[in-house]
């Protein structure tokens, strides 16, 4: 598939949600397809549920950091974390976000407030008409384990227009990067997310 000079992906979640693993699957699939891919990782307090960010560029690029208002794709595993990425959103940005909240300890202690997700999504849809919210955790639980929620979102991402990596390359990368014992469940999660995109946009 031909792509513009670069395709820019920003992945954000909290510790334990598979943010880095998801980026690795995409990056290695891109390289297996003959595309250049560069990736950076930013670990917050990942062991305590802190923010984890991965930025990935595919194409004719050298530096991995996503440019302001130029992200092609945002993958958001914890919805409130989308606020950290709002400056990256342009009119053509596709956003795939979980709608399942993980309440930070600061909210539990009354130090901060959790955002109203409906209002946040409404505001961000003024920036792009391609924001898709999915209950990835519910789907993952129905499949068998909440841990595959990131792969549900990855499946949706792979179905978006202009996504530069072929579905088959992603599946092959999953086989290389995920434990064999959970591979069937992850494959089902990916396919469910992939089909969900077409259901939502039909």
Does 30 score more than 80 pLDDT? yes
Q: Between 22 and 103, where is the model more confident?
A: 22
- At residue 49, the pLDDT reads 62
Calculate mean pLDDT across residues 123-136.
96
The overall average pLDDT reported for the chain is 92
Question: At 2, is the pLDDT very low, low, confident or very high (cuts 50, 70, 90)?
Answer: very low
pLDDT tens-digit readout, 135-161: 999 999 999 999 999 999 999 999 999
List the domain boundaries for the chain: 7-201
Burial of 97 (0-12, 13-18, 19+ CB in 10 A): buried
pLDDT score recorded for residue 79 = 95
For residue 173 the two structure tokens come to 């990368």
pLDDT in tens, 31-81: 999 999 999 977 655 455 688 999 999 999 888 899 999 999 999 999 999
Mean pLDDT of 118-139: 96
Which pLDDT does position 102 carry in this prediction?
84
- Say if domain 7-201 classifies as CATH 3.40.50.300: no
pLDDT of residue 62: 83
Q: Is the pLDDT of residue 189 over 70?
A: yes
């Amino acid at each position: 598939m031909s792509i513009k000079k670069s395709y820019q992906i920003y992945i954000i979640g909290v510790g334990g949600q598979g943010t880095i693993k998801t980026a690795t699957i995409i990056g290695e699939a891109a390289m297996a397809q003959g595309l250049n891919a560069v990736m950076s990782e930013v670990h917050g307090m990942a062991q305590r549920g802190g923010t984890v960010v991965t930025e990935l560029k595919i194409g004719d690029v050298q530096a991995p950091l996503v440019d302001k208002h130029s992200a092609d794709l945002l993958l958001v595993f914890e919805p409130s974390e989308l606020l950290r990425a709002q400056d990256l959103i342009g009119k053509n940005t596709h956003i795939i976000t979980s709608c399942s909240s993980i309440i930070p300890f600061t909210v539990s202690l009354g130090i901060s407030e959790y955002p109203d997700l409906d209002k946040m999504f409404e505001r961000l849809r003024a920036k792009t008409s391609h924001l898709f919210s999915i209950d990835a955790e519910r789907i993952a639980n129905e499949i068998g384990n909440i841990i595959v929620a990131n792969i549900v979102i990855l499946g949706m991402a792979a179905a978006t227009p202009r996504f530069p990596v072929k579905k088959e390359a992603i599946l092959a990368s999953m086989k290389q990067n995920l434990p064999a014992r959970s591979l069937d469940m992850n494959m089902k999660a990916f396919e469910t997310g992939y089909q969900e995109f077409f259901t939502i946009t039909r």
